[in-house]
Structure 1
Amino acid sequence: MSDSADSIVLIPTYNEKENIENIIRAVFALGKDFHILVIDDGSPDGTASIVHDLISEEFSGRLFIEERKGKLGLGTAYIHGFKWALARAYSYIFEMDADFSHNPEDLPKLYSACHDEGYDVSVGSRYCTGVNVVNWPMGRVLMSFFASKYVRFVTRLNVKDTTAGFVCYRRKVLETIDLDRVKFKGYAFQIEMKYTAHVLGFRIKEVSVIFVNRRLGASKMNSSIFGEAFFGVIDLRWRKITGKIKPHPERMAHTS
């Protein structure tokens, strides 16, 4: 494996000691060469120590970690990771959970949709071919499914799984989005990123994946996350109507 991979997988963590080593090894076992950046929000369970050990013992030059002090939110973790990746030479930047709800073996499919098929964003979608969710309570399945329908109704965004957190972005998408103006921190962050990419003219493809509920560790889902998403969608639509969704100032020429 080379130290010059064109792709990096961002994995935000908070108390993922049961999963982090296994997910890292699963990504590095793929035929395609991916690098990994773990963004750890001060996990008290020793998640960061496990990553540091893996870096020093096996994966120097391929595995990286950024440590932040305290739980600062999923969205800010990804923004931190995006900026870190953009400061380096990566062409494809991925979002993925640490808990195996996203299957690492699907990473090459998301990569292919952007690299080979020419899409700007590819989304690992639970809902583009029905409902592909395993081990979720029915109430949560219905809430997630109809939340995505609500988002599509309000925003007119033609993506069936708008809250999906398994995503590949071409570098130019993240360079064009004004990351300092991204507003939301929870699951609404995922909606905001997709919607902003769409408004700025980028092409999005959904790739069917099977989402498996975590087997180890605790879920970070709570009611405030859904509240932010519900009202955030209305705010996003209003920002579009009022012309407030704009490219990064340095990339204005891209959409002119």
Structure 2
Amino acid sequence: MEPRPPIKHSSIAAILFLFGILGLVCAGAYFSGELGQLLSGSSTQSQPPRPGLVPFGQRQDPLPGLEEADAPLGKPAPLERTSTSYKFLAVKEDGTPLAYSPCRPIHYVVNSALAPPSWQPLVEEAVRQASVATGLVFIYDGPSTEIPSPNRSGYQPTRYGDRWAPVLIAWSTPEQVPRLTGQTVGLGGSSSIGLSNGYKAYVTGTVSLDAPQFAGIMDASNGNEIGVAVIMHELGHLVGLDHVNDPRQLMFDQASWVRQYAAGDLTGLAKLGSGPCSKDF
């Protein structure tokens, strides 16, 4: 067998150079976390993306903490007298009512397509009264074409941007909102979020008003006063009050002569405006 020719110095240098390059590639892959993927053939990430890094449009909830201050934005008006004639729609495990965070504003929009011409001062006065009683800050974001739905999503980035959807106040019909069938003039309520640390809070809601019945109310001599009271009643539900059996309260479960929040209503509303802050939702 003929002896092999000796390897030239240039060939040795080339081989060493190639091994050096391969070593750098493997080192780079190791330190970047890709070596395991290269060896196994997997292209999936070894760890899920951290919360907050999911691209906008792929999240189910907005980024937490938007507009959340370190302290409540307002305080409930002082109570001249208290009353036990109030009831909450939901109570948490610690006995406190489920409520909106007082440390961020409640944004709202209005669908006025079926509303009476004088709807705006009615809504503004009702919202003002609810804000004074709770200390919660409400911000009007303008008109909306959204129609009330029992399955309304609390996060609608296409319509409202990367935030919790604003509260929707809308004049509707029993055809659109079947629960308005009969003598029900309005409906109000909110959707809540629960976090792994046990925190719960309302994040958005809807007030639906029966347009035909509301038009009849506005035809009365004191129609504006009654109209404001109806919206105040539904805003009471929105922020967390339930019906009561006391006919002296605005949250009485039947039509009555009461036109303003009474002692029981105000006591409950003050408690609903005194919840904790949270930057976690």
The TM-score with structure 1 as length reference comes to: 0.27
Name whichever structure is richer in helix by fraction: 1
The structure number with the bigger radius of gyration is 2
